[in-house]
Structure 1
């Protein structure tokens, strides 16, 4: 992995982590095009740069993170289903993560769903994220479990889950952003723990690459979140649906024609 790889992957992470398009699918295509070898550090890097994306949420919404304990309890309630599901089915999830075809199919099907989401959930009753109650937070957390199927997109699953609970598009998106913080932090912590448990340590160059990657992911995610909220309020999900269908179709075609697509 060189500095160009780091910059490209960090930009992809910042752009796609909070959009309903699956960062995994984009990482597959980018890594395949650039010929990045899927070694242990590369696999860790793609997870660890989520910390930069997490920080962008905290910076943009810092007032929400320093108000009431109720805010944190709701996030905890929403986080629990994915934490339990992940622990119970970790081996099966790891198996799915090795399948590029699964990612392509899930992206494609998810894209079709996004074409109709705005029509299905067009009468929101909850206009602000602050109005989300505990039962609703838990149900959104159940939707987040779907994101453990590679290609689903954590953002797509939780935003659609929120809209299914009568949240407005903006409220659902903001709750999804907030829920990403404990979820992505836990995923990064586990990946780091496994990395060290297997006897690996970071070289000076690897630390530098992680720092650069997180910085770029942070800046790009800041711009992506602000732009996404504005676009979502005005235009909805249809464009993202068509985009997912296109990306999923590309992955399926590449896989079926014998191209080596590695999950990094």
Structure 2
């Protein structure tokens, strides 16, 4: 499978960000990719009120993503925000991935909310409950969002459900050691599951915007089932296209049999 990671720099205008999806998806399709991954918060970067930006999954922004995927003939996965139930008088959204394209019409709501490093995502975001695996050209692809990558049990569950490739879509926060943690965690989850992990982040937006919250550090990476870096990006916008050898991944899963040998009673 040829996969493309679109390390974009989202702004605050959803229409302009949709145009970025159009551009990068066309380029990914021209490069022969069957799947193109966009970061968390592709619809709008963190900073503005998410409730004022959010749209339903059948709204105009998501419809635009579906039309782009249909025209390009490949599967697109991108981060957006969807209205959710309020809590204690607070209007909330879900932090959502829309996955759309040939044979795919799905979404994933972020399960693990980023209540860490001085940021409280749960104030404005409702948690998801259900892991998601889509099928692209007969291959199981698990979907995760940003802070999820710190929770290996989700990745184990996705692998149990048939995911041979797991994607991570992030708008990673800056700070001491954060970029190293991002790439290390992606590689660790690949080792945990003896599968591929494709982790796409927002490009670094500059110090002024980065100070507003988790807005990306770059460093998108594809990790092999033994944790090797197959492809990686710097901190600027980039389209990272790479081939994933799923036959080799199956052999690794058979040889390093952690998925088979895992016990649940400890």
TM-score (norm 1): 0.27
Choose between structure 1 and 2 for higher RCO, CA contacts under 8 A separated by at least 6 residues: 1
TM-score (norm 2): 0.27
